[in-house]
Amino acid sequence: MQHTTTQPRITAITQSKIAAITQTDQSVFNKSTLAIALAGLGGVTILAGIVSLVSAIILLSTASMPSLSSTILTNAVFDMTIGALVIASSRALARGKILAVWLYGGSILLDSLYSLISGYPLHYIFIGLGALVIWQILKFKKGWKVS
């Protein structure tokens, strides 16, 4: 009796499935899910900016720490600007425009520049996750509109 094995056949099937998976340019998320997540991130960032703005107004009205209130006020305006950029990126992604990459990349660049100018450490998590999000956005390049 001859010993036979199915190992070559299983290996061939597995290799063909791996090749089929790697050849498709599928994203981990749906485009609508990613757009909703970006809108949520922008909304939370704007909400943080509003809380900082209220805190700065309270500190300015009591005039106990005017230098601290000006720093908080600057941070509040910055947070609301970053949130607006992320929401605009979300809307551009939902509409299928390449502008989504530029807006989200601009928010990462603006955050890094503001941190360096202000003397804060860089937000490496925001930069790393931002690069991941941009990579995911670029997966949806089929059917994009340039304008």
Using an 8 Å Cβ cutoff, are 115 and 127 in contact?
A: no
pLDDT in tens, 36-47: 999 999 999 999
Dig out the tokens for 18 from the structure.
């791996």
Higher pLDDT, 91 or 21: 91
Band of the pLDDT at 89, cuts 50, 70, 90? Answer: very high
Cβ-based neighbour number of residue 94 at 10 Å: 16
| pLDDT in the model for residue 144 | 66
Q: Is the pLDDT confidence value at 142 over 60?
A: yes
Query: Is pLDDT at 56 greater than 90 in this prediction?
Result: no
Q: What is the pLDDT of residue 62?
A: 78
Mean pLDDT of the region 122-136: 89
Q: Which of 81, 120, 85 is nearest to 100 (CA)?
A: 85
As a whole-number percent, the residues of the chain with pLDDT over 70 amount to 73
Q: Give yes or no for residue 130 having a pLDDT over 70.
A: yes
The string of pLDDT tens digits covering residues 92-127 is 988 888 899 999 999 999 999 999 998 989 889 889
* pLDDT higher than 60, residue 12: no
Put simply, whether the predicted model's pTM sits higher than 0.75 gets the answer no
Beta strands in the chain (DSSP E): none
